[in-house]
Amino acid sequence: MSKELLKMIADEDVAYVDIRFTDPRGKLQHVTVMADQVDEDFLEEGFMFDGSSIEGWKSIEASDMKLMPDTESAYIDPFYAEKTVCLHCSVVEPDTGEAYDRDPRGTAQKAEEYLKSTGVGDVAYMGPEAEFFLFDNVRFSTTMNKVSYEVDAVDASWNTDAEFEMGNMGHRPGIKGGYFPVNPTDESQDLRSEMLSTMKRLGMKVDKHHHEVASCQHELGLVFDSLTKQADELQKYKYVIHNVAHAYGKSATFMPKPIAGDNGTGMHVNMSIWKDGKPVFAGDKYADLSQEALYFIGGILKHAKALNAFTNPGTNSYKRLIPGFEAPVLRAYSARNRSGCVRIPWTESPKAKRVEARFPDPSANPYLCFAALLMAGLDGIMSKIDPGEAMDKNLYDLPAEELAGIPTVCGSLREAMEELKADMGFLLKGDVFTEDQIEGYIDLKMEEIERYEHTPHPVEFAMYYSC
């Protein structure tokens, strides 16, 4: 692919090459290189950089690292004034050329190799459904004497009586009323269409868009792909959404719970395994699943609390995962309702048979999230973990005593980190994750937890200031 990429750079008069990688928290990072500096040697030997500047990676005395471009990931950036080719990179040790064990993309690649080594399958497909919010104005402060935030949008449900210079047309979705009326109630049709069109021009496989349940909440459809490639695509998905929104004078966020009293943002992840061109999950068991698919579900349910560390990696994630509401917090599975944390979507085609994890959210690092979900499911298959009976009744309406018998996912990021410490063995198989990587990740997240726990919250002033 190197020759094809270099030809494309020359033929399209590309000025720059943007080499991109993902840090442990899931944020896309980049370095831009003049195109005339990029040749076959550059693509084969990689680009040196200072790893100590990335939180959760190397210390200053051992900071040299190397970015290895994936030439098959190339795309023209649609937002730069100068024509720029972007390449996703994996991170390697410069002295040995081996994958750096804290590189999220490298972890995803190792998970795919581990799948092949088990004999269970040769490809894992991931289909994320990442929701997001769009606001017109965002303000927040976290100083020692002031903690506050405010978000606003013209089409927000709370603005029914707001006075705007251009007038108030009154058409907007109510609380939990955004799924999914046409315009003018849904005023973001053109914006979402441009997001989807931009993705298609980048070569991404996309299929739909719509307003979501909450006020100011939206979703675009990404068609499934293999694990690492889909994680790359999800990074591009976020990048396009952020930048198209910015061009429209709006601000996009994948924060799970930016507003109170309305639905939070999730990222349902559809998963399937194939072997020799055939779907492993299709069979004659419950909901036309195979025994392997049921064991896969068993692994997801067993390890759900440890998975939360990667699938729900922020303190804000647990503002969404609260029992008694619509969030999928119960460790149960069903083909009939969406209230459990695992669902089997209905389909007539065996090729479309899949398992949907409903508890992840889009603040997750996609490489680590997808890899961890696959490792949990594979542990279920290899260890023959029985998921128990499906829960086809409405879990929201269960009597309290029956509901108490169903285990839940974690209730806080601190709990998720404790569960990850106690249940990391399934992630270490095949050296996909390493203890050093997980310990470094926990350290990074504990910094966030301590900052959150040490900071007074505005609601505490409302509840306790006059006590």
pLDDT at 397 exceeding the cut of 80: no
User: In angstroms, rounded to a whole number, what is the distance separating the alpha carbons of residues 256 and 246?
Assistant: 19
Quick one: pLDDT band at residue 406, thresholds 50, 70, 90? Answer: confident
For residues 443-452, give the mean pLDDT: 97
* pLDDT confidence tier of residue 61, bands split at 50, 70 and 90: low
Report the pLDDT averaged over residues 148-153. Answer: 95
Residue 362 pLDDT greater than 80, yes or no: yes
Max distance between CA atoms of the chain, in angstroms, equals 72
Q: How confident is the model at residue 441, as a pLDDT?
A: 97
Q: What is the mean pLDDT of residues 436-441?
A: 96
* Residues 114/375, Cβ–Cβ less than 8 Å: yes
Mean pLDDT of the chain: 93
pLDDT in tens, 205-229: 999 999 999 999 999 999 999 999 9
Binding site residue list for ATP: 207, 338, 351
Positive or negative: CA dihedral 224, 229, 230, 232: negative
Neighbouring residues of 451: CB distance < 8 A, sequence distance ≥ 6:
none
* Alpha carbon distance 319, 66 (integer Å): 38
Q: What's residue 283's pLDDT?
A: 96
Q: What share of the chain is helix, strand, coil (3-state, %, to 5)?
A: 40, 25, 40
Q: Would you please indicate which residues are annotated as catalytic (active-site) residues?
A: 50, 129, 131, 212, 219, 268, 338, 356, 358
pLDDT band at 60 (very low <50, low <70, confident <90, very high): low
Residue 59 — pLDDT band, cuts 50, 70, 90?
Answer: low
Per-residue pLDDT reduced to its tens digit, 280-327: 999 999 999 999 999 999 999 999 999 999 999 999 999 999 876 778
Residue 62's pLDDT band, with cuts at 50, 70 and 90, is low
The tokens for 144 are: 């020692």
Q: What are the residues whose beta carbons fall under 8 Å from the beta carbon of 343, sequence distance 6 or more?
A: 268, 328, 333, 334, 335, 337, 355, 356, 358
Mean pLDDT of 28-51: 94
Position 119: which residue type?
A: G
Q: Which residues are annotated as a binding site?
A: 129, 131, 207, 212, 219, 263-264, 268, 320, 326, 338, 351, 356, 358
Q: Band of the pLDDT at 73, cuts 50, 70, 90?
A: very high
Look at the block and give the residue holding tokens 């190339």.
74
* Torsion sign over Cα 287, 292, 295, 301: negative
Confidence (pLDDT) at 237: 98
Per-residue pLDDT band at 381 (split at 50, 70, 90): very high
The yes-or-no answer to whether 2-99 and 123-138+217-464 have a common fold is no
Domain edges within the chain: 2-99, 123-138+217-464
pLDDT at position 219: 97
CATH architecture group of domain 2-99: Roll (3.10)
Stretch 25-46: mean pLDDT: 95
* Binding site feature residues for L-glutamate: 263-264, 320, 326, 338, 358
Q: Which fold has domain 123-138+217-464?
A: Creatine Kinase; Chain A, domain 2 (3.30.590)
Measured between alpha carbons, how far apart are the two ends of the chain, in Å?
68
More reliable by pLDDT, 265 or 325: 265
Q: Which residues pair with 32 in a beta bridge?
A: 18
Q: Please state, in angstroms and rounded to a whole number, the distance separating the CA atoms of residues 433 and 441.
A: 11
